[in-house]
């Protein structure tokens, strides 16, 4: 099979490469602005919502959730321990392979979430306005 193709790539950086990088950066900033805009004005009356494999399994006001902590959720063959204390929600333990969800900073504002991909667990904070503010971090 003989095909004609450009088999001699340019090997030095040029301004067109910079344009590609600028487009990627602009996309990143636009998405970041959409998802990570602070929502301090809406941070009252937080609710913890936990879903496993796309199904909501727990929903409670943050003070109630704190009193019942720690909570253990199982999914994908792994167990994820979630604890709420002092107004924040944190994944304190996980049996997932890389424990990235454990390393994710605690969440404290509406719209933030911690995701454990291997366990398919999503821990999110909502308020009376829902979770339109965006999310914090994904971990696996």
Partner 1 sequence: MRSATKRLTLCAVLAALALALSYLESSFPPLVLPLPGAKLGLANIVTVYALYALGAPYALALVLVRVLLGAMFAGNASALLYSLLGGAAALGVMILLKRSKRLSVYGVSVGGAAAHNCGQVAAAMLTLGNAAPLAYLPALLVVSLFTGAFSGFIAALLFRRLPPDGL
Binding region for partner 1 (CB under 8 A): 1-3, 5-14, 16-17, 19-21, 24-25, 27-29, 31-32, 35-36, 51, 53-54, 76, 98, 100, 103-105, 113, 115, 117-118, 120, 122, 124, 134-140
- CA distance linking residue 125 with residue 140, whole number of Å: 19
Nearer to partner 1, 67 or 103 (CB): 103
β-bridge mates for residue 52, sequence order: 55, 121
Nearer to partner 1, 21 or 61 (CB): 21
Give the other-Cβ count within 10 Å of 102's Cβ.
17
Q: How near is the Cβ of 74 to partner 1 at its closest, in Å?
A: 15
Nearest one of 113, 65, 118 to 95, comparing CA atoms: 118
Q: How near is the Cβ of 108 to partner 1 at its closest, in Å?
A: 15
Cα 81 to Cα 24, 44, 69, 89, 91: the distances in Å are 36, 25, 9, 11, 6
Q: How near is the Cβ of 104 to partner 1 at its closest, in Å?
A: 4
């Amino acid at each position: 099979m003989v095909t004609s193709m450009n088999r001699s790539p340019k090997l030095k950086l040029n301004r067109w490469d910079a344009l590609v990088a600028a487009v990627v950066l602009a996309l990143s900033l636009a998405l970041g602005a959409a998802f990570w805009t602070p929502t301090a004005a809406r941070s009252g009356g937080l609710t913890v919502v936990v879903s496993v494999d796309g199904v909501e399994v727990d929903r409670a006001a943050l003070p109630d959730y704190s009193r019942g902590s720690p909570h253990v959720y199982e999914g994908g063959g792994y167990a994820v321990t979630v604890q709420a204390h002092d107004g924040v929600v944190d994944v304190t333990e996980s049996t997932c392979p890389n424990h990235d969800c454990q390393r994710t900073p605690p969440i404290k504002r509406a719209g933030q979430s911690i995701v454990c991909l291997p366990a398919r667990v999503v821990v999110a904070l909502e308020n009376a306005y829902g979770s339109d503010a965006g999310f914090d971090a994904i971990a696996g």
